[in-house]
Amino acid sequence: MLGPVILAASRSDRMRRLVSAAPVTKQVVDRFIPGETVDEIVPIIEDLTAKGLELTMDVVGEDITNPEQAEAARDAYLELIDRLKGLDLGTRAEVSVKLSMFGQALPGGHELALANVRPVVEAAAAIGTTVTLDAEDHTTLDSMFAIHEELRKDFPQTGCVIQAYLFRTEADARRLAANGSRVRIVKGAYKEPAEVAYQDKAEIDKAYVRITRILMEGSGYPMIGSHDPRLISIAQELAHRAGRKPAEYEFQMLYGIRSEEHLRLAAEGHRMRVYTAYGTDWYGYFMRRLAEKPANLRFFVRSMITKG
């Protein structure tokens, strides 16, 4: 299985240098990360929303080493939200954040991350949109869920992400579904040990379906993060059985992956949100996209051979 190897490489400084230096890398990265600055990403937002799609925006970057970098991440999101204000899209363009960017792994990181992310959530609410807290590796989740709970006291539309491959997630889903949370379910894209996560794809898919049922039958707002046609079809059926209307849940997919499916779902009347990342610190995000889907890796290798 190449996935775990690629995920391990995503933490390697040497591999980061090699991949970043490859002549073809930027061409391939642009497939998944269509810009480095706010100025470059605004036309993408306008194009996708004109096609009936919605977005969640991610400023890429994770492994910060000091509080100043955490403040810079906060400011980058505030700049993004200021530009979204001018587009007047409301919840059609929300933002997703990784708390590691806001200082979560630094000394006193829980309090630091909360202090840095709160102004972002406040700014988003002020322009009529929302923030979703991305899930990272399992060691960060207790802190993420605690920050999510704290933010929801003042900003109840703040969302969070749960990962189907973790053993803990069904219990997390029941709690979040009961308290009315916005919840994105994904399979999971980090390398996790067998002690905490399913390793078999079939088991992960079964867990995904069980958790999707919990969310659809709960009082929250499910966000189905998947490119798998079978899981998308199952989610639609579970929503129907739960009596949910199309506006009461949504699908989410990554920019650059199954773009025609984005348009198909939107044309059928579904809320279809495209997870769109931008920025210069793209390496970790890019490597997880390669690990998730063999076709992405084949595309990268084929491009390198063609250009080599």
Q: State the catalytic residues.
A: 134, 184
Distances (CA, A) of 4 to 199, 256, 263, 267, 294: 10, 22, 31, 36, 12
CB 129 within 8 A of CB 95: yes
Contact 55, 49 (CB under 8 A): yes
Beta strands in the chain (DSSP E): 54-59, 93-97, 131-133, 159-163, 182-186, 221-225, 250-254, 272-278
User: b/e string for 86-99 if b means 16 or more Cβ within 10 A?
Assistant: eeebeebbbbbbbb
Q: How far apart are CA 224 and CA 261, in angstroms?
A: 14
Q: For residues 140, 41, 250 and 146, what is the CA-based torsion angle, rounded to 10 degrees?
A: 20
Q: Which two tokens stand for residue 59?
A: 């400023």
